[in-house]
Amino acid sequence: MKGFDIYHGSGTVNFKKAYAAGYRIAMVKATEGKTFKDPKFIANVKAAKSAGFKVGAYHFARFTSPAVARQEARFFYNVAKGYLKYMDEPLVLDLETNHAGRQLVASMQAFFSELKKLTGHRLMLYSMGVFYLNNLKGHHPGIPLWYARYASKPIGVSSYYLWQKSQTGKVPGISAYVDINETGPDYPSTLQGAIKKAEDAITTAKKAAAAATTAKKAAAAAKAAVKTTPYYVTASKLNIRKSPGGTILGQLNHGDRVQVLGISAGWAKIKSGSNVVYVSAKYLSKSQTATKTAPKPVYHTIVRGDTVGALAKKYGSTIKQIKSWNKLDSKYTIYVGKKIRVK
């Protein structure tokens, strides 16, 4: 998801036009130092929200000490507090120059500490490339990062909420050049970090499925995974497949439980460790009773004219099964009046 950040120097912004062009996040300057309030802050926040944007506000730091940082935090909050109802995005400390010398980190932390006392709204740090990496990285635990690095990727960091990728962006509805932002792996609604991990897991699973030894492990993992979820196997044996109707990787037993991720066209997608495999949905049931009783045998009392072949056809069995169940001789001899198992 992409967005931009603006201040009074951005001129009059047509937020509806920018939204129609696909931009969704507007970070609006509120304050700077201890006394400067952006003259377009309120108008920009309201117009952005009205156009459908996710809105956040930022404060440009000028503090020279922890004491001054706390003063700036209070000033920022007092300007922004009446407009938090418009904001889905965090309140941001824009820290890109060092006016505090050796007290820089302590001053930053004092700013956030003071702001946390004043509001429960989410907070975030904005900083830039080498300045951030040399001075601030690792010193803002629990505070997400809005990272400015004008390159093909956010060099130097792997965890960030927003990435400011350009300062010379052209956005429909804004006449001036603006900073362009893109959501990162820590951005909550996109879950990009989780998506990347899932994609990596799928890639690994595809490679693993190509090897026979890994396929055996997948089948074993599938059998292990069927002990925690409310779908039960009703067949005496149920094949585990790499894909619907595909290669058989192993088998489940009657009464085993499986984690069903979805059912489509008669095939159930189930979880097997970190992999996904398939079984026929026909032989799954939500009823827990499926684990308690196996199918009951069916018996038939022989009458004149019965043959093993006719009985197998009648009861949906096979001659081989009837012979095995009843220990018949090679001629399949049966006697009138004798009860035999036929299913």
Predicted pLDDT of residue 271: 79
Predicted pLDDT of residue 290: 46
Return the ∠ at Cα 188 (arms to 186 and 191), rounded to 5°.
Answer: 75
Nearest CA to 231 out of 255, 264, 267, 266 is that of 255
pLDDT tens profile 239-289 = 989 999 898 888 888 888 888 888 888 898 887 777 889 999 889 887 665
Cα distances from 263 to residues 47, 255, 282, 321, in angstroms, run 45, 19, 10, 33
- Distance of alpha carbon 332 from alpha carbon 24, whole angstroms: 78
Which stretch, 63-67, 193-197, 232-236, has highest mean pLDDT? 63-67
pLDDT tens profile 43-69 = 999 999 999 999 999 999 999 999 999
Predicted pLDDT of residue 315: 86
pLDDT-derived band at 42 (thresholds 50, 70, 90) equals very high
Q: What is the mean pLDDT of residues 116-123?
A: 97
Nearest CA to 40 out of 70, 5, 85 is that of 5
Predicted pLDDT of residue 207: 75
Q: Which amino acid is at 75?
A: F
Q: What is the mean pLDDT of residues 290-300?
A: 68
